[in-house]
Amino acid sequence: MNLQLTFEKPSKLWGILILVFLLILVTIWLKPLVVQSYQVSIENTVLNPVVYPIELTPGGRKRIGGLADLKDVTAADAIRKRGGGQSQVKQLQTGYENLTVGELANRAAAGDKEAEKALKIVKQAEKKAQKYGGKQ
């Protein structure tokens, strides 16, 4: 029995099939890495935004009073930390819930009536929570 091996030139179809197979393998291998890096970037930007310390003006320091430790926290988060609920957050004018307590104090010192109101809501959140028995 005489075996002869002959090699023919592979057709273009086989080349395309091999290329598609390799692309599928690479995609399957890289997909977890891409998803993981996307999740890390989302966590660092949306869920934990970079917050720079607020410089309080002299009037802002006077307005903020006992909330100085919360000066870099958003108004909505400060209300929740002090025991307030969603009803107090909804009382804030649109846009003010995303400002930090320090920014509200500086604006209130500059004469912004809505910022004064928002700062007052933040300050009263703890008393309202005690009076009404927790979050509303």
3-state secondary structure string, 24-57? HHHHHHHHHHHHHHHHHHHHHHHHCCCCCCCCCC
Tokens, residue 106: 């500086």
Residues 6+ away with beta carbon under 8 Å from 76: 89, 92, 97, 98
Rounded Cα gap, residues 10 and 108, in angstroms: 78
Rounded Cα gap, residues 17 and 22, in angstroms: 9
> pTM, whole model, 2 decimals?
0.58
Q: Which candidate, 78, 106, 102, places its Cα nearest to that of 92?
A: 78
CA angle 106, 108, 109 (to 5 degrees): 65
What would the pLDDT profile of 29-78 be if each residue is shown by its tens digit?
A: 666 655 544 444 444 444 455 556 778 889 988 988 888 888 888 888 88
What would the pLDDT profile of 76-109 be if each residue is shown by its tens digit?
A: 888 888 888 888 888 887 778 888 888 889 999 9
